Chains A and B, each alone.
Chain A
Amino acid sequence: MLARTLGYGLNGVNGFEVKVEVYLSGGMMALEVVGLPDASVKESRDRVRAAIQNSGYTMPVGRLTVNLAPADMKKEGPAFDLPIALGILMASRQLDMQDLTRVLTLGELSLDGTLHPVRGALPVVIAAKQQGIADIILPQENAPEVDCIQGIRVYPAKSLDAVVQHLKGRTPIPAQEQRTYENFLETAQVAMDMSQVKGQAGARRALEVAAAGGHNMLMIGVPGSGKTMLARCLPGILPPLTFEEALETTRIHSISGRLMPGSGLMVTRPFCAPHHSASVASLIGGGPNARPGGVSMAHNGVLFLDELPEFSRPALEALRQPLEDGVVSVTRVQHQAQYQASIMLVASMNPCPCGYYGSKTKQCRCSAHEIRRYLDRVSGPLLDRIDIQIEVDAVPVQEINQAAPAESSAQVRARVTQARKRQQERYRKDGIHCNAQLDARLSKKYCELDAASAQILHMAVERMGMSMRAYGRVLKVARTLADLRGAERIETADVAEAIQYRSLDGKYWR
């Protein structure tokens, strides 16, 4: 007796179809799984056997061969428990069907037959939908994760028996109501609001500019000046994720197994703050299964590197490529995967080892040589990719106690969103979507200066010894400043402000 069911495997962020064939023949009682299963799939034998018996069914006597096709792709994870168990029940006529390949079934079985949630349900369901599969049975804890996909019927199941009763038509499981993206946006919440930041007018402004143009940002300041707090505000002032962006981000989190159980689509931009001891593999992605790293977890959001010079040099240098391309390829012997990594990089650091170089309140104890060495841990090529650099000084006590409430994130976000809209409109034909992505050719086209502005910029270049690359950065930031004003033309004031965001070049890295 041969039965067929349908499961899905994961390869990077993409799901692939796995036909599960179960053949019950005569011979000595046995259950064998073939088709390149890894250890966790082989273990499903024992779970499936117990689950079938504890759900009131019997293991058939005879030889059971389970084949996972295509046989040349490595299958991992316990998500094949459910299709295997159903296949066994079908092959032994306890469930009167032979072909269940139009219904995707996913789920890990517990020994008592209840279904446990699996990793990567979202990418699997997306792939299945693309292949034309419209009916999906999965563990009920995974159901909220996929309720954002339209055009499919999702049946959240509690146990193996519930699935069998559903398939027999005795107690059909009602299909879950799929939600539209607008429903989700209402649930968005942000960790830190701008209204909680006291003082720091300059830094607030820089943050807004960075958000408006998608510029990477570096904050240098004494300990306790609020750099981390400022960075945490950033996801809240960025425009809300679009549906496509939310899907991309959620599927990366889904396959890394870091989605909270029961949580649906991620609508808040991710904020990823790895500790400075992070290895290359943890930042970029890696491990034997080529799992995504920090840059991909922060996809469409913010990667915050606190204490930038403390990160290992190889880890920082490895960031250069994803910063440029917005995507990383992780290659290991067994696996190869490509993960999106379109991020805003926000870094913070102290100006010197003791932390007080340039402080107005405390004396720095470091020698010139020590400071030099500390700053040099951050390489030039990385700094080159950071458009906005600002100094953050400690807030005076009087300002902290001042009662005047600061502007909230929502107010700032409204302006940022407007500026982003202008950019998307302008670059629609150029294949980019924000000012930070302008290359030399495009910035010549879109960042035209009038005579007075050009003169200011030339003066700055001469006085501050600015490099040509820095010159290009200033133009881009000036473009963003004009967009924030809602103006098409860049004015002298924009250029002057943009120059300020490069002034640290001259002060620290000469």
Chain B
Amino acid sequence: MKPYALGRRGEAEAEAYLQALGMRTLARRYRGGDGELDLVMEDGERIVFVEVKASARGEAGDGMCRVTPAKQKRIIHAASAFLLEREWMERPARFDVVEITAAGLRHVPCAFEASAWD
């Protein structure tokens, strides 16, 4: 399978998983603020920004490792743009990662934070 298709399928799989947890989809593949958000979900009052990492092979944790600090920074920028656009700056928001590997699907809530880097 081509990487692009694999990514799309992973995102669909992740979305279905999160919806099963009771979340509502707000946006898919949102682009803005120099970055991209794979999925934006709503968990009750909270906004959940989800980065999906899918690969055909790999062990558990491989996907997580690919969300590097640089990648996190781009996600945070995109998330700010999203919240600004909808005027939701006051809503609590978190960042999750969903990885899909040969070992299966793994959901990591609060995978990283938007604290200043130092």
Q: Chain A interface (Cβ within 8 Å of chain B)?
A: 25-32, 42, 45, 59-63
With the chains together, A31 CA to B94 CA distance in Å?
12
A29 in contact with B93 given A59-B110, A61-B46, A61-B110 (CB within 8 Å)? yes
A27 touches B115 (CB 8 A): no
- Determine how close the nearest CB of chain A comes to the CB of B117; give it in whole angstroms: 11
Q: Which of A26, A32, A60, A62 contacts B115 (CB 8 A)?
A: A32
Residues A29 and B91 in contact in the complex (CB < 8 Å), given A42-B118, A45-B115, A61-B46? no
Residue on A with the closest CB to B116? A32
Output the least CB separation between B35 and chain A (Å).
13
Asked if residues A61 and B94 are in contact (CB atoms below 8 Å), the reply is yes
Collect the chain A residues with CB atoms within 8 Å of residue B116's CB. Answer: 30, 32
Chain B: CB-nearest residue to A45: B115
**What 8 A-B pairs are tightest by C-beta distance, nearest first?**
A62-B92, A28-B114, A26-B90, A30-B114, A29-B94, A30-B115, A61-B94, A61-B92
Which residues on A sit within 8 Å (CB–CB) of B90? 25-27
Contact B93–A27 (Cβ < 8 Å): yes
Please, which residues of chain B bring their CB within 8 A of the CB of A61?
Answer: 46, 92-94, 110
Query: Can you list 7 contacts pairing A with B, beta carbon distance less than 8 Å?
Result: A27-B83, A27-B114, A28-B79, A28-B93, A29-B113, A59-B110, A61-B94
CA gap between A454 and B118 in the complex, in Å: 74
Which B residues are CB-close (under 8 A) to A32? Answer: 115-116
A30 to B80 alpha-carbon distance, docked (Å): 13
Is A27's CB under 8 angstroms from B89's CB? yes
Interface 1/0s, chain B 49-79, versus A by CB < 8 A?
0000000000000000000000000001001
Taking CB atoms, residues of chain B closer than 8 Å to A29 are: 92-95, 110, 113-114
State how many residues of chain B have any CB contact under 8 Å with chain A.
18
Q: How far is the CA of A12 from the CA of B53 in the complex (A)?
A: 52
- Closest approach, in angstroms, between the C-beta of A342 and any C-beta of chain B? 43
Bound: A59/B46 CA distance, A: 14
**Chain B window 100-118, contacts with chain A (Cβ cutoff 8 Å), 1 for yes, 0 for no:** 0000000000100111101
* Given A42-B118, A61-B46, A30 and B91 contact (CB-CB distance below 8 Å): no
Residues of A within 8 A of B92 (CB): 26-27, 29, 60-63
CB distance from B72 to the nearest CB of A (A): 11
Closest beta carbon of chain B to A188's beta carbon, Å: 48
* Shortest distance from the beta carbon of A65 to any chain B beta carbon, whole Å: 10
Contact, CB under 8 Å: B91 / A26: yes
Nearest neighbor of B44 in chain A, beta-carbon distance: A61
Give complex CA distance A121, B49 in Å: 43
Q: 10 additional contacts, CB 8 Å, given A27-B114, A30-B113?
A: A26-B92, A26-B93, A27-B83, A28-B80, A30-B116, A31-B113, A60-B92, A61-B92, A61-B110, A63-B114
Min CB gap B92→A, angstroms? 4
Most buried by A among B94, B95, B116: B94
- With a cutoff of 8 Å between Cβ atoms, the chain B residues found around residue A28 in the complex are 76, 79-80, 83, 93-95, 113-114
The one of A26, A31, A42, A60 in contact with B89, judged by C-beta atoms closer than 8 angstroms, is A26
B contact residues around A62 at 8 Å (CB) = 92-93
Chain A residue numbers with a CB within 8 Å of B46 are 61
Contacts of B76 in A (CB 8 A): 28
**Cα A63 to Cα B110 with chains together (Å):** 13
Bound state CA distance, A60 and B93, in angstroms? Answer: 10
Beta-carbon nearest neighbor of B79 in chain A: A28
Give the Cβ gap from A51 to chain B, nearest Cβ, in Å: 15
CA distance A29 to B83 in the complex (A): 13
Q: Which residues of A contact B95 (CB under 8 A)?
A: 28-29
| Shortest Cβ distance from A39 into B: residue | B118
Q: For the complex, what is the distance from the CA of A28 to the CA of B94, rounded to whole Å?
A: 6
Known A-B contacts A61-B46, A61-B92; the reply to A31 vs B110 at CB < 8 A is no
With A and B bound together, what is the CA distance between A45 and B118 in angstroms?
A: 12
B13 CB to nearest chain A CB (Å): 24
Q: Which residues of A contact B118 (CB under 8 A)?
A: 42
CB distance from B113 to the nearest CB of A (A): 5
- What residues on B are CB-neighbors of A26 within 8 Å? 89-93
Residues on the A chain within 8 Å of B83, using CB: 27-28
Q: How far is the CA of A27 from the CA of B116 in the complex (A)?
A: 14
CA distance A25 to B115 in the complex (A): 14
